[in-house]
Amino acid sequence: MADTNLQKLSSNKTFNGELIKYKFKSAALGGLDAQFNLYLPPQSTVVKVPLLVYLSGLTCTEDNGAQKGGFFEAASKQGVAILFPDTSPRGAGIPGEDDDWDFGTGAGFYLNATNPKYSKHYNMLTHVTIELPQIMEAAGLPIDFKRQSIFGHSMGGHGALTLYLASATQQYKSASAFSPISNPMKCPWGEKAFKGYLQGGIEEAKLRYDATELIARRKDPVHILIDYGTGDNFYIQGQLLPENFLNAARGAGHDESHVRVRRHEGYDHSYYFISTFASDHVLYHAGFLKI
C-alpha cells in the first residue's frame, strides 16, 4: 500500500480553479518519490467532480501538459478535474535506464514491466490506474472516481488508448489522443520498449499494450477521438501509424460514431498542435463524464 500522505509542493490559481503539485512515496514504483499535478475546477469547492487523466509523451514530466496543454479554460467551464501523472519512475538507479531518451527515465510506456531488471519500479499502469486514484481518494480530494476518462500525447496517447481498451473494469468512459503511437509493435519506439520492459517481448505486448491489436478484438461500443498532423516528423517516420489503428477499428465494426480519427494538414508533434485542439478533447470527454 502506498503512503497516503500527500505532500503539497505548490499551488497556482488558473481559470478560477487551482493547479496543485503533489508528492508522495509510490509503492507501485518501488518506494520512489512520485509527483503529479492535479487541476481542480471551481465547481470542486461544492461538489465532487469527474476526472480526466492526461498522459504525457517521451522525455516529459508531470509538468509539460499542465504548463503547455491549454486545457484549463475548457476544464473550468465544464467542471472537470485533470490529473497529470509523471511518465516514468525517477531515480531507480537501474544500470542503463538513462542511456537513451526513448527508453527508461521519462519513457515508462504506461505498462507494468515483467523483465526482472525493471519490474520493481516500472509499473506505470498500476501507478496511473490504481495507485493515484487510491491516493487521491484517501486524501479526501473532491473527485468522483466513478466518472473517469483518459487522454494523452504520443507515448501518452498510446497509454490512453491501451489503458482504456484493456481495462477489464471499463474504468474510463472515453479516450482520446494527440499523435498517439498507435501500433507500437510495428514501430521502433514500441519494439524497443516492449523488448526491454517485457519478458515476453512483442508477443506479450500484443495481448495488452498495442492499441491496434486491442481495437481489432474489441466488439462492444467504444468512444475514441484521435488527432494527428501531417507535418509531424514522427508520423512521417512511421512511429505513429494512426491509419493502422483506424483500419483495425473499421474492420472490427467501429464506425465514425465510435472511433473518430482526424487528420490535420501541416501540424507537427508539438504542444502548439495539442493546444490548438485542447478544448475539443476536453469537451469530447465532458460529454461522457457528465452522464
How far the first Cα of the chain sits from its last, in Å, is 32
Which one from 44, 158, 232, 285 is the annotated catalytic residue?
232
For residue 73, which amino acid is it? E
**Strand 143-153 with 49-55, pairing:** parallel
d(CA 5, CA 3): 6
User: What are φ and ψ of residue 28, in 5° steps?
Assistant: -60, -30
For 23, half-sphere exposure in the C-beta direction (CA atoms, 13 angstrom radius) is: 8
The DSSP 8-state label assigned to residue 128 in this structure reads: I
Which one from 154, 174, 176, 179 is the annotated catalytic residue?
154
Contact 60, 30 (CB under 8 A): no
Strand partners, 178: 153, 227
Distances, alpha carbon 101 to alpha carbons 58, 96, 148, 177, 225, in Å? 8, 11, 30, 21, 28
**Whether 279 is catalytic:** no
Residue 8 exposed, middle or buried by CB count within 10 Å (0-12, 13-18, 19+): exposed
Q: Which residues contact 47 (CB under 8 A, 6 or more apart)?
A: 79, 142
Strand partners, 23: 7, 35
Residue for cell digits 517516420? 237
Contact 29, 268 (CB under 8 A): no
Contact 131, 28 (CB under 8 A): yes
**Whether 26 is catalytic:** no
**Whether 154 is catalytic:** yes
Q: Which residues of 184-208 are buried (b: 16+ CB within 10 A; e: fewer)?
A: bbbbebbebbbebbbeebbebbeeb
Which one from 153, 158, 254, 269 is the annotated catalytic residue?
269
**Residues involved in catalysis:** 154, 232, 269
